[in-house]
Amino acid sequence: MITSVARVTRRVPRALAAALLTTALTSTALTSAAGTAQAAPARDARPPLTGDATADAASICSSKTSPTTARRLGTAIAAALRGRTGTESVAVYDRERRLWCGVSSGSHYDSASVVKATILGALLRKVLDEKRHMSASEKSLAKKMITKSDNNAASALWAHVGRTRMQRFLRQAGMTHTTLGEGRYWGLTQITAYDEISLLRRFTEPNGLLTTKARTYALTLMHEVIPSQRWGTPSGTPSGITWHVKNGWLPRHGKNWRVHSIGAFTGGGRSYTIAVLTRDTPSMAYGVATIERVAHAVHRGLNPGLRAMSTEHDAHIPWERSDGSVPPTK
């Protein structure tokens, strides 16, 4: 039963070596997460999370197979961040090109509602461990938590999964730099852009942690978010590519916004992930604008010649209203 910094510091990773398997993911109808896990891809050589603060823009991204694309994309990301107020972290991974980009990817941020994607992953792993199907209650809460960013649903699943299982999932997913929020304050989980890419890769690549059904279920929910929450990394997604997103937007003590967006992009022979975390922005709208500048740069850089589609969110966003992931007095 279910119960309830203003300057960008670039941290540039070294070569990211990975032996990766190819998978075709589609946004199908919701299915059970139960099943037999596939073999995990070869373990990545994790890039370091420290870097040279004076590194030039061209070295933000690296790829042995697509060095020209990496240099061009690094320059574009640097241009998108230039002159922005606040602190930003960026991480990008393109599976086909073995391309990694990182800007302060190891810096920690209050997660706000972005952690709900991690709660979902841990729930799916719990169901697999128990060799059963998701209950109707679990499905209902998971859908509310992801598609509407419902906080009561998140609190219920946070308690239902439990801290021990949440911590185990972080370890299994390779999210070793993430620290869970204390007690019931899941919105104060400390996350990094680097770890968020690790999570998204568990949703988009064959692995031993989540089955194909579980991964498709997660991605389906992330594609069904309500229109007012389709801002951020999906902005500028090219036609023919499907976006999957989870956002967070939280002012601390009535100011100093934390605005985040993590997204996975699949289809048309493409599979890449983007995480952009920001803090100390003057407003929610400003943080969203920063994220979308980076998102446009990434989508253009990885998909030259493809036309961007609109996610049609602007008219629906309740600007400057907290996601409610942390009480105002905390």
119-155 b/e with 16+ CB inside 10 Å = b?
A: bbbbbbbbbbeeeeebeeebbebbbbbbbebbbebbb
pLDDT > 70? residue 54: no
pLDDT at 56: 64
SS3 state of residue 7: coil
At 8, the pLDDT band (50, 70, 90 cuts) reads: very low
Mean pLDDT score across all residues of the chain: 85
Query: What number of CA atoms fall less than 13 Å from residue 306's CA on the CB side?
Result: 20
Topology (CATH) of 57-316: Beta-lactamase (3.40.710)
Please write down the HEC assignment for all residues of 68-89: HHHHHHHHHHHHHHCCCCCEEE
**Of 305 and 55, the one with more pLDDT:** 305
Kindly report, residue by residue over 195-206, the tens digit of the pLDDT: 999 999 999 999
pTM of the predicted structure, to 2 decimals: 0.85
Kindly report, residue by residue over 121-156, the tens digit of the pLDDT: 999 999 999 999 999 999 999 999 999 999 999 999
Q: Report DSSP letters for 161-222, one per residue.
A: H-HHHHHHHHHHTT-TT-BPPSTT-GGG-EE-HHHHHHHHHHHHS--SSS-HHHHHHHHHHH
pLDDT at 253: 78
pLDDT at 117: 98
Kindly report, residue by residue over 56-113, the tens digit of the pLDDT: 677 899 999 999 999 999 999 999 999 999 999 999 999 999 999 999 999 999 999 9
pLDDT at 180: 98
At 165, the pLDDT band (50, 70, 90 cuts) reads: very high
pLDDT at 328: 80
At 310, the pLDDT band (50, 70, 90 cuts) reads: low
Kindly report, residue by residue over 222-249, the tens digit of the pLDDT: 999 999 999 999 999 999 999 999 999 9
Q: Which amino acid is at 243?
A: W
Kindly report, residue by residue over 9-51, the tens digit of the pLDDT: 333 343 333 333 333 333 333 333 334 343 333 334 345 443 3
**Domain boundaries defined on the chain:** 57-316
pLDDT at 312: 53
* Percentage of the chain exceeding pLDDT 90: 73
Kindly report, residue by residue over 177-191, the tens digit of the pLDDT: 999 999 999 999 999
218: exposed, middle or buried (Cβ count in 10 Å: 0-12, 13-18, 19+): buried
Q: Which residues contact 314 (CB under 8 A, 6 or more apart)?
A: 231
Query: What number of CA atoms fall less than 13 Å from residue 109's CA on the CB side?
Result: 37
